[in-house]
Protein backbone atom coordinates (compact mmCIF):
# COMPACT_ATOMS: atom_id res chain seq x y z
CA UNK A 1 0.00 0.00 0.00
CA UNK A 2 1.29 3.39 -0.86
CA UNK A 3 1.40 5.55 2.17
CA UNK A 4 -0.58 8.65 2.17
CA UNK A 5 1.31 11.93 1.82
CA UNK A 6 0.11 14.90 3.82
CA UNK A 7 -1.95 17.18 1.59
CA UNK A 8 -0.49 20.22 -0.10
CA UNK A 9 0.07 23.25 2.05
CA UNK A 10 -1.31 26.61 1.10
CA UNK A 11 1.19 29.24 0.13
CA UNK A 12 0.46 32.11 2.47
CA UNK A 13 0.26 35.79 1.64
CA UNK A 14 -0.66 35.00 -1.97
CA UNK A 15 -2.48 38.28 -2.35
CA UNK A 16 0.71 40.35 -2.22
CA UNK A 17 1.13 42.70 -5.15
CA UNK A 18 3.38 41.45 -7.94
CA UNK A 19 6.71 43.15 -8.42
CA UNK A 20 6.49 45.90 -10.99
CA UNK A 21 9.10 44.23 -13.18
CA UNK A 22 7.14 40.99 -13.61
CA UNK A 23 5.96 37.98 -11.66
CA UNK A 24 7.03 37.90 -8.03
CA UNK A 25 8.33 34.82 -6.27
CA UNK A 26 4.92 34.37 -4.66
CA UNK A 27 3.26 34.58 -8.07
CA UNK A 28 5.49 31.76 -9.29
CA UNK A 29 4.75 29.77 -6.13
CA UNK A 30 1.02 30.27 -6.59
CA UNK A 31 1.24 29.15 -10.21
CA UNK A 32 3.21 26.11 -9.14
CA UNK A 33 0.52 25.26 -6.64
CA UNK A 34 -2.16 25.54 -9.34
CA UNK A 35 -0.27 23.11 -11.57
CA UNK A 36 0.31 20.75 -8.66
CA UNK A 37 -3.38 20.62 -7.81
CA UNK A 38 -4.01 19.51 -11.40
CA UNK A 39 -1.40 16.76 -11.14
CA UNK A 40 0.92 18.59 -13.56
CA UNK A 41 4.06 17.98 -11.56
CA UNK A 42 6.60 18.93 -14.22
CA UNK A 43 5.06 22.37 -14.55
CA UNK A 44 4.75 22.66 -10.77
CA UNK A 45 8.46 21.91 -10.40
CA UNK A 46 9.29 24.53 -13.02
CA UNK A 47 7.34 27.26 -11.27
CA UNK A 48 8.42 26.36 -7.74
CA UNK A 49 12.02 26.47 -8.96
CA UNK A 50 11.43 29.90 -10.48
CA UNK A 51 9.94 31.07 -7.19
CA UNK A 52 13.04 29.92 -5.34
CA UNK A 53 15.36 31.53 -7.88
CA UNK A 54 13.45 34.81 -7.73
CA UNK A 55 14.02 35.07 -3.99
CA UNK A 56 12.22 37.11 -1.40
CA UNK A 57 9.92 34.33 -0.19
CA UNK A 58 10.79 34.81 3.46
CA UNK A 59 9.05 32.28 5.70
CA UNK A 60 7.28 30.86 2.63
CA UNK A 61 10.54 29.43 1.32
CA UNK A 62 10.22 26.33 3.51
CA UNK A 63 6.67 25.79 2.24
CA UNK A 64 7.79 26.04 -1.38
CA UNK A 65 10.58 23.51 -0.81
CA UNK A 66 8.12 21.16 0.88
CA UNK A 67 5.69 21.40 -2.04
CA UNK A 68 8.56 20.99 -4.50
CA UNK A 69 9.44 17.81 -2.63
CA UNK A 70 5.86 16.59 -2.96
CA UNK A 71 5.98 17.13 -6.73
CA UNK A 72 9.19 15.10 -7.05
CA UNK A 73 7.76 12.49 -4.67
CA UNK A 74 4.69 12.08 -6.86
CA UNK A 75 7.00 11.57 -9.86
CA UNK A 76 8.81 8.81 -7.98
CA UNK A 77 12.04 10.80 -7.70
CA UNK A 78 12.46 9.95 -4.05
CA UNK A 79 16.04 11.11 -3.49
CA UNK A 80 15.26 14.55 -4.87
CA UNK A 81 12.09 14.67 -2.80
CA UNK A 82 14.06 13.83 0.35
CA UNK A 83 16.56 16.56 -0.51
CA UNK A 84 13.82 19.17 -0.84
CA UNK A 85 12.01 18.04 2.31
CA UNK A 86 15.34 18.24 4.14
CA UNK A 87 15.85 21.79 2.91
CA UNK A 88 12.38 22.70 4.15
CA UNK A 89 13.24 21.23 7.55
CA UNK A 90 16.55 23.08 7.67
CA UNK A 91 14.73 26.33 6.95
CA UNK A 92 12.03 25.57 9.53
CA UNK A 93 13.04 22.90 12.07
CA UNK A 94 9.51 22.94 13.51
CA UNK A 95 7.88 22.05 10.19
CA UNK A 96 6.07 18.86 11.19
CA UNK A 97 4.48 18.21 7.80
CA UNK A 98 7.89 18.25 6.12
CA UNK A 99 9.09 15.57 8.56
CA UNK A 100 5.97 13.54 7.78
CA UNK A 101 6.55 13.89 4.05
CA UNK A 102 10.23 12.98 4.30
CA UNK A 103 9.26 9.99 6.40
CA UNK A 104 6.86 8.95 3.65
CA UNK A 105 9.66 9.16 1.09
CA UNK A 106 11.94 7.03 3.26
CA UNK A 107 9.05 4.59 3.66
CA UNK A 108 8.67 4.35 -0.11
CA UNK A 109 12.41 3.57 -0.28
CA UNK A 110 11.78 0.83 2.31
CA UNK A 111 14.09 2.62 4.74
CA UNK A 112 11.72 2.03 7.61
CA UNK A 113 13.94 3.07 10.50
CA UNK A 114 14.61 6.47 8.93
CA UNK A 115 10.90 6.77 8.20
CA UNK A 116 9.96 6.02 11.80
CA UNK A 117 12.48 8.58 13.04
CA UNK A 118 10.86 11.27 10.91
CA UNK A 119 7.34 10.23 11.88
CA UNK A 120 8.42 10.40 15.53
CA UNK A 121 9.52 13.99 14.98
CA UNK A 122 6.32 14.86 13.12
CA UNK A 123 4.30 13.52 16.05
CA UNK A 124 6.46 15.36 18.57
CA UNK A 125 5.81 18.62 16.73
CA UNK A 126 2.12 17.92 16.15
CA UNK A 127 0.72 15.32 18.58
CA UNK A 128 -2.72 15.51 16.95
CA UNK A 129 -1.52 14.58 13.44
CA UNK A 130 -3.49 11.40 12.77
CA UNK A 131 -1.77 10.78 9.45
CA UNK A 132 1.68 10.78 11.06
CA UNK A 133 0.48 8.08 13.46
CA UNK A 134 -1.03 6.11 10.58
CA UNK A 135 2.16 6.44 8.57
CA UNK A 136 4.35 5.34 11.47
CA UNK A 137 2.00 2.42 11.95
CA UNK A 138 2.56 1.36 8.35
CA UNK A 139 6.32 1.47 8.85
CA UNK A 140 6.04 -0.69 11.97
CA UNK A 141 3.67 -2.97 10.06
CA UNK A 142 6.19 -3.55 7.29
CA UNK A 143 8.84 -4.26 9.94
CA UNK A 144 6.38 -6.86 11.31
CA UNK A 145 6.21 -5.04 14.62
CA UNK A 146 2.48 -5.57 14.72
CA UNK A 147 1.78 -4.49 18.28
CA UNK A 148 3.34 -1.08 17.67
CA UNK A 149 1.50 -0.86 14.35
CA UNK A 150 -1.89 -1.55 15.94
CA UNK A 151 -1.19 1.00 18.66
CA UNK A 152 -0.47 3.67 16.05
CA UNK A 153 -3.49 2.80 13.90
CA UNK A 154 -5.67 2.99 17.00
CA UNK A 155 -4.22 6.38 17.90
CA UNK A 156 -4.83 7.65 14.36
CA UNK A 157 -8.46 6.55 14.64
CA UNK A 158 -8.81 8.11 18.09
CA UNK A 159 -7.58 11.43 16.68
CA UNK A 160 -9.67 11.14 13.53
CA UNK A 161 -12.51 8.59 13.62
CA UNK A 162 -13.05 9.16 9.88
CA UNK A 163 -9.54 8.07 8.89
CA UNK A 164 -10.53 5.30 6.49
CA UNK A 165 -6.92 4.48 5.69
CA UNK A 166 -6.17 3.59 9.31
CA UNK A 167 -9.17 1.23 9.43
CA UNK A 168 -8.00 -0.34 6.18
CA UNK A 169 -4.52 -0.86 7.59
CA UNK A 170 -6.02 -2.61 10.61
CA UNK A 171 -8.00 -4.87 8.28
CA UNK A 172 -4.81 -5.79 6.44
CA UNK A 173 -2.95 -6.49 9.66
CA UNK A 174 -5.63 -8.82 10.99
CA UNK A 175 -5.86 -10.53 7.61
CA UNK A 176 -2.13 -11.23 7.71
CA UNK A 177 -2.65 -12.65 11.19
CA UNK A 178 -5.42 -14.92 9.83
CA UNK A 179 -8.01 -13.31 12.09
CA UNK A 180 -10.86 -13.21 9.60
CA UNK A 181 -13.46 -11.87 12.01
CA UNK A 182 -11.38 -8.85 13.02
CA UNK A 183 -10.15 -8.29 9.47
CA UNK A 184 -13.72 -8.18 8.17
CA UNK A 185 -14.81 -5.89 10.99
CA UNK A 186 -12.20 -3.28 10.09
CA UNK A 187 -12.59 -3.81 6.35
CA UNK A 188 -16.28 -2.94 6.63
CA UNK A 189 -15.38 0.08 8.75
CA UNK A 190 -12.77 1.29 6.26
CA UNK A 191 -15.27 1.24 3.42
CA UNK A 192 -17.92 2.96 5.54
CA UNK A 193 -15.38 5.73 6.25
CA UNK A 194 -14.77 6.30 2.55
CA UNK A 195 -11.81 4.12 1.68
CA UNK A 196 -12.37 3.30 -1.99
CA UNK A 197 -9.07 2.41 -3.64
CA UNK A 198 -10.61 -0.62 -5.31
CA UNK A 199 -7.65 -1.47 -7.53
CA UNK A 200 -5.32 -1.39 -4.54
CA UNK A 201 -7.70 -3.65 -2.61
CA UNK A 202 -7.76 -6.16 -5.48
CA UNK A 203 -3.96 -6.26 -5.67
CA UNK A 204 -3.10 -6.03 -1.98
CA UNK A 205 -1.53 -9.33 -0.95
CA UNK A 206 -2.20 -8.49 2.68
CA UNK A 207 -5.88 -9.24 2.04
CA UNK A 208 -5.29 -12.63 0.42
CA UNK A 209 -6.37 -14.49 3.55
CA UNK A 210 -9.89 -13.02 3.45
CA UNK A 211 -10.64 -13.05 -0.27
CA UNK A 212 -12.91 -16.06 0.15
CA UNK A 213 -14.64 -14.56 3.18
CA UNK A 214 -18.21 -13.36 2.82
CA UNK A 215 -17.26 -9.82 3.86
CA UNK A 216 -14.75 -9.48 1.03
CA UNK A 217 -17.13 -10.88 -1.56
CA UNK A 218 -19.94 -8.62 -0.37
CA UNK A 219 -17.82 -5.46 -0.40
CA UNK A 220 -16.17 -6.21 -3.73
CA UNK A 221 -19.29 -7.37 -5.58
CA UNK A 222 -19.45 -5.47 -8.85
CA UNK A 223 -16.15 -3.69 -8.24
Residues 107-152 have pLDDT tens digits of 999 999 999 999 999 999 999 999 999 999 999 999 999 999 999 9
pLDDT reading at 7 higher than 70: no
Report the pLDDT value the prediction gives residue 176, as an integer from 0 to 100.
97
Q: Do domains 1-126 and 127-223 have the same CATH topology?
A: yes
pLDDT value, residue 223? 86
Which residues are CB-neighbours of 12 under 8 A, at least 6 positions away? 59, 60, 63
What is 127-223's CATH topology? Answer: 1.25.40
Task: Say if residues 65 and 87 touch (Cβ distance below 8 Å).
Answer: yes
- Residue 10 predicted with pLDDT over 60: no
- pLDDT the model gives residue 85: 98
**Alpha-carbon distance 160 to 66, whole Å?**
24
Domain extents in the chain? 1-126, 127-223
Residue 41 has a pLDDT of 95
Cα 210 to Cα 29, 193, 195, 222, distances in angstroms: 46, 20, 17, 17
pLDDT tens per residue across span 71-113: 999 999 999 999 999 999 999 999 999 999 999 999 999 999 9
Q: What share of the chain is helix, strand, coil (3-state, %, to 5)?
A: 70, 0, 30
Confirm if 48 and 28 have CB atoms less than 8 A apart. Answer: yes
Q: What architecture does CATH give domain 1-126?
A: Alpha Horseshoe (1.25)
- Tell me: the pLDDT tens digits for 177-210? 999 999 999 999 999 999 999 999 999 999 999 9
Whether pTM > 0.95 for this model: the answer is no
Residue 52 pLDDT greater than 80, yes or no: yes
Confidence of residue 173 (pLDDT cuts 50, 70, 90): very high
For residues 8-29, average pLDDT: 59
Quickly list DSSP for 23-90. Answer: --HHHHHHHHHHHHHTT-HHHHHHHHHHHHHH---TTHHHHHHHHHHHHHHHTT-HHHHHHHHHHHHH
Examine the pLDDT at 13 and tell me if it is beyond 80: no
pLDDT band at 26 (very low <50, low <70, confident <90, very high): confident
Q: What average pLDDT does range 51-65 have in this prediction?
A: 91
| Structure confidence at residue 12 (pLDDT) | 43
Query: What pLDDT does 2 receive?
Result: 42
Amino acid sequence: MRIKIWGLLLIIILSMVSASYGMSALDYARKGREFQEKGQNNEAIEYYSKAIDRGGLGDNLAIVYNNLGIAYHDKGQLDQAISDYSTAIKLNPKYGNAYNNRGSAYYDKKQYDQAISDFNKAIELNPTDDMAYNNRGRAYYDKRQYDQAISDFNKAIELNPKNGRAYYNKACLYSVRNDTEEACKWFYKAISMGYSNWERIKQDKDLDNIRNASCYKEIMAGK
